[in-house]
């Protein structure tokens, strides 16, 4: 009796935060996982170890998501190790907060390179190389709809991610590949918590009707749904934010 081939996922930004929890969640669902990281090899290897000790399969591959050659090599590594790619979770991103009047344009350019160019580079390879039945899952942010002061530059990059997501879903007509974005609300990750005092964190935790911050596990559950059973969800932005409007 033949067995179905192992499904394979690439998770960019997979060494920490939401990406790390997504790696572990997809591995628990039976995916072989490629943990992409930009610089922190130790944390990426720790993610691989966590997966393998739980009985799963994973490798770590370094790549700058905005470098087209590095991202092509990332997909090559996935295909060489596991035979193909079925799901791409593009969780890598960077955030710089500033009022528009005080914006450091060099910081803006760096954020654009990772968040916008990186999305195009990763999605381009995914569109070319995913197997049928696959899924592309990008990351936006619920701050895009909240219009919070200081977030203009970051929200602008995530607006671009949403635009790419919706268009790409339509460009892949006939390929049996879904394309969606997840837009977390305030989530207790190092990226979110860095530089915020306790009062600010408490105020943001009180915003959703569920009256808490999201957790990386909350977001990983949404990703796992879109990567697996959620085949009829396509060309959508899922605002996983506990009900903030």
Express each pLDDT in 31-48 by its tens digit.
999 999 998 899 999 999
Average pLDDT over all residues of the chain: 94
What string of DSSP letters covers 127-151? HHHPPTT-EEEEE--THHHHT-TT-
Note the pLDDT of residue 91.
Answer: 96
pLDDT reading at 2 higher than 50: no
94 contacts 115 by C-beta, under 8 angstroms: yes
- Single pTM value for the model: 0.94
pLDDT reading at 4 higher than 70: no
Stretch 189-206: mean pLDDT:
82
91 contacts 24 by C-beta, under 8 angstroms: no
* pLDDT confidence bin for 22, thresholds 50/70/90: very high
Stretch 88-93: mean pLDDT:
97
Note the pLDDT of residue 3.
Answer: 57
Stretch 170-186: mean pLDDT:
96
182 backbone dihedrals φ, ψ, rounded to 5°: -105, 135
Q: Is 151 a catalytic residue?
A: no
Note the pLDDT of residue 192.
Answer: 75
* pLDDT confidence bin for 1, thresholds 50/70/90: very low
What angle (nearest 5°) sits at the alpha carbon of residue 48, between those of residues 42 and 53? Answer: 120
> Which residues are bridge partners to 59 per DSSP?
34
Tokens coding 29? 């669902």
* pLDDT confidence bin for 145, thresholds 50/70/90: confident
pLDDT reading at 194 higher than 80: no
Note the pLDDT of residue 117.
Answer: 98
Tokens coding 101? 């009047």
Can you list the domains of the chain with their CATH numbers? 8-186+216-238 (3.40.50.720)
Note the pLDDT of residue 155.
Answer: 96
Stretch 190-215: mean pLDDT:
84
* pLDDT confidence bin for 29, thresholds 50/70/90: very high
Stretch 217-230: mean pLDDT:
97
User: What does the buried/exposed string (b/e) look like for 57-95 if buried means 16 or more CB atoms within 10 Å of the residue's CB?
Assistant: bbbbbbbbbbeeebbbebbebbeeebebbbbbbbbbbbb
Percent of the chain residues past pLDDT 70, beyond the cut: 98
What angle (nearest 5°) sits at the alpha carbon of residue 68, between those of residues 117 and 26? Answer: 80
pLDDT reading at 74 higher than 70: yes
In the set 37, 96, 151, 154, the catalytic residue is 154
């Amino acid at each position: 009796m033949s067995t179905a081939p192992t499904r394979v996922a690439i998770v960019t930004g997979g060494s920490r935060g939401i990406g790390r929890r997504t790696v572990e969640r997809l591995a628990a669902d039976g995916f072989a996982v490629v943990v992409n990281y930009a610089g922190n090899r130790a944390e990426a290897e720790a993610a691989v170890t966590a997966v393998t000790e739980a009985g799963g399969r994973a490798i770590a591959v370094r790549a700058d998501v905005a470098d087209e050659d590095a991202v092509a090599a990332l997909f090559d590594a996935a295909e060489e190790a596991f035979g193909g790619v079925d799901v791409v979770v593009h969780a890598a991103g960077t955030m710089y907060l500033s009022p528009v009047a005080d914006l450091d344009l060099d910081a803006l350019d760096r954020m654009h390179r990772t968040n916008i160019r990186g999305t195009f580079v990763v999605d381009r390879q995914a569109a070319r190389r995913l197997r049928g039945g696959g899924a592309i899952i990008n990351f936006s942010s619920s701050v895009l709809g909240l219009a919070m002061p200081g977030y203009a530059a970051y929200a602008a990059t995530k607006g671009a991610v949403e635009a790419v997501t919706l268009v790409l879903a339509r460009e892949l007509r006939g390929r049996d590949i879904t394309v969606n974005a997840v837009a977390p609300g305030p989530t207790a990750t190092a990226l979110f918590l860095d530089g915020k005092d306790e009062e600010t964190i408490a105020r943001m935790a009180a915003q959703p009707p569920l009256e808490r911050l999201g957790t990386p596990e909350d977001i990983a559950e949404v990703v796992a749904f879109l990567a697996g059973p959620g085949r009829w969800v396509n060309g959508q932005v899922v605002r996983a934010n506990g009900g903030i409007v």
